[in-house]
Amino acid sequence: MRVPVKSLLISIPLFLLLGGTAIFLAFMYLTDQTPGAVIDGIQREGKFFLYKHNMVEKLSSQEITLLYRSTCTRKCHGKDVIEKKPRTAAEWESVVTRMKAPDRAGITDRHADTITRYLQNNFLSNVPTVLPENTMKFLKKYLWRMDFGEGDLFLDIIYVPREHFRLLRYLGVSHLPPDQQHAFFIVYINTHRGTVPDWNLAEMSTFRVNNGNPQNAIGWEILYRDGQRHHVQGMLTFPGIDISQSNELEVTMKPAGMGTKIFQWSLPVPPLEE
- Render each residue's pLDDT in the chain as its tens digit; 274 residues: 454 655 545 556 655 555 545 554 454 445 555 655 556 556 667 777 777 777 777 888 888 888 888 777 665 666 777 888 888 888 888 888 888 777 666 678 888 899 998 998 898 887 778 888 889 899 999 999 998 776 788 899 999 998 899 898 888 888 877 778 889 999 999 987 889 999 999 999 999 999 889 999 999 999 999 988 899 999 999 998 777 778 899 999 998 878 899 999 999 899 887 6
| pTM, full prediction | 0.74
Structural domain spans, the chain = 41-125, 133-266
CATH number of this structure's domain 133-266: 2.60.40.10
- Written in H, E and C, the secondary structure of the chain is CCCCHHHHHHHHHHHHHHHHHHHHHHHHHHHCCCHHHHHHHHHHHHHHHHHHCCCCCCCCHHHHHHHHHHHHCCCCCCHHHHHCCCECHHHHHHHHHHHCCCCCCCCCHHHHHHHHHHHHHHCECCCCCCCCHHHHHHHHHHHEEECCCECCEEEEEEEECHHHHHHHHHHCCCCCCCCCCCEEEEEEEEECCCCCCCCCHHHCEEEEECCCCCEECCEEEEEEECCCCCEEEEEEEECCCCCCCCCEEEEEECCCCCCCEEEEEECCCCCCCC
